Structure formats: structure tokens, C-alpha cells
Amino acid sequence: MIHVPLNPQRISQVLGNGYWRVKVISETTSTQSEIINNFSPLQHGDLLIAEFQNNGRGRLDRKFIAPPMRAILFSAFIKPERSISEWGWLPLVIGASVAEALSRITGKEFLTKWPNDVLFGEKKVCGILCESNYGGVIAGVGINVNFYSSELPVDNADSLNLIMGKAMERDLVLAEVLTQISKNLELWNTSSAELISETYIKYSATIGTEVKVELGNGKVITAKALGISEVGELLLDDGSAISIGDVTHLR
């Protein structure tokens, strides 16, 4: 498999609408940390992409590891128009956008696991990290695109090329994902909570499923996931509203 560098000119040409201002760098510690050093001042739509992160990180301080030119790794600066109390929706909106874009590209079903993973079956292909900073949100996204099976970081991970049986063009995958994210961000900024909830649930593997939720205080809840609150919390049938937790789907 030949690993081809991303082409920022091609990406911008395919995107076409000027919503995103794209910069590609070869290596960084973490795009989450470095985006501020590449755009001054930060504006909505600034997007930093790295071919390799030597200290990538995910939610709950987990490491995100990918060999060079195998994944799509980016951080975007977003200034939501909604109340700060609703910013918990952002990883959900972005996750649903990635799932929708990957489903369209591949013709296969990709779904989300609340709050920040995109799955094929029960295997993770994408992780999302949203952090409030600089008057907005820095949204980090990592998508496994062209991995050898031996390079996958954990047993429950997957990669688009392994799913499709062929190498994928990262430029085109990235452009499709970014286009869908911008569409759904506009929908979220201008629509009711009910409408964006319907959009999210369409691509959710969590809603309607029995789940185990591990909370930060060591408490574990087992219940059925019923829906999403107006501020992005996971609603369970025991009456719980979860804002932070590690979810496992129970089959």
C-alpha cells in the first residue's frame, strides 16, 4: 500500500465553499495544542491537519497513536452561535457528521457511540475530542483511513481500507467529512434541539441500547439509553442524565 501525502490545494478545491481555512503540516505534538500557533488570531473555520502526531491525545487523557500518513488528524476552531450550556452537543454533531459522510463514501453503515466515537459494527474508526478554549471550541478528529491491521492501536479498532478491501484517498475522505460537518454545524446553529437530536439519533448506535456507563467517581451504571437532552446529555431509563462517562454497549 502506497501512503500518499495530503494535498491541501486539492482539499481546498474539492471543498470549494471557503468555510474552512486549511493548513497541513507534516508533524506536530498534537493538533489540539498547535492550532493556536498556526492561526493568529483564531477564527471560526480555522483547520490544522497533521500527517503525524507524536503526542496525540483523545478524550479522558487517552493517547491517540497513528503512523505517518495513515490517518486523518485535524483540529478545527469552532465558535458556536448557541448558548455555552449547549456546547456539549458539539462532539455529537461532529460524530454524526463523520458517520454520515463515511456511510455515504463507502455505502456501509457507520454509527456513533455517545459521546465521541464513530464505529463500524462495534469497532472504532474515529475519535473526537472537543475542548473549550479561546472563546470557542477546538474540535479534534482522528479517522483511521489506511492502516495495516498490525498497526491498529487496539483490538477494537478498524480502518476504512480494511473495511473496504482497498486503499482510500484521504483527500476525498477528508473533504467529504468536512463538508458534512459544516452542513450539520449550520443546522445545529439555526435549528431546534429536537431537530438536531433527530439527526444525531439517526446515526447513533447508543440510543435504544443497553449500556454500561463508567463515571469518573468509580460509579458504574447499567441501563438503557433513551435519548439526548437539550444540552447533549445521555438520558437513561433509570432517570440518569450523563454528561461525562465512558460508555460500553451491552449486547
Q: 195-233 pLDDT, tens per residue?
A: 899 999 999 999 999 999 999 888 999 999 999 999 999
Instruction: Tell me what percent of the residues of the chain surpass a pLDDT of 70.
Output: 95
Q: Is the predicted pLDDT of residue 166 greater than 90, yes or no?
A: yes
For the segment 122-130, the average pLDDT, to the nearest whole number, is: 96
Query: Where do the domains of the chain lie?
Result: 8-201, 206-250
CATH homologous superfamily of 8-201 equals Bira Bifunctional Protein; Domain 2 (3.30.930.10)
Dist CA 27 CA 12 (whole Å): 20
**Strand, coil or helix: what is 196?**
helix
The reported pLDDT for the residue numbered 186 is 95
Q: Ramachandran region of residue 81, left (φ > 0), alpha (ψ -120 to 50) or beta?
A: alpha
With contact defined as beta carbons under 8 Å apart, do 19 and 177 qualify?
A: no
Identify the architecture of domain 206-250 in CATH.
Answer: Roll (2.30)
Confidence of residue 21 (pLDDT cuts 50, 70, 90): very high
Dist CA 43 CA 235 (whole Å): 33
Predicted structure pTM score: 0.95
Q: 24-74 pLDDT, tens per residue?
A: 999 999 999 999 999 989 999 999 999 999 865 555 456 667 899 999 999
Instruction: Give 225's Cβ-side CA count (13 Å radius).
Output: 28
Q: Is the predicted pLDDT of residue 249 greater than 80, yes or no?
A: yes
The reported pLDDT for the residue numbered 213 is 97
Residue-wise over 104-129: b if at least 16 C-beta within 10 A, else e? Answer: ebeeeebbbbbbbbbbbeebbbbbbb
> Which residues on neighbouring strands pair with residue 188, listed in sequence order?
none
What mean pLDDT, rounded, does the chain reach?
Answer: 93
Which of the pair, 134 or 55, is modelled with greater confidence? 134
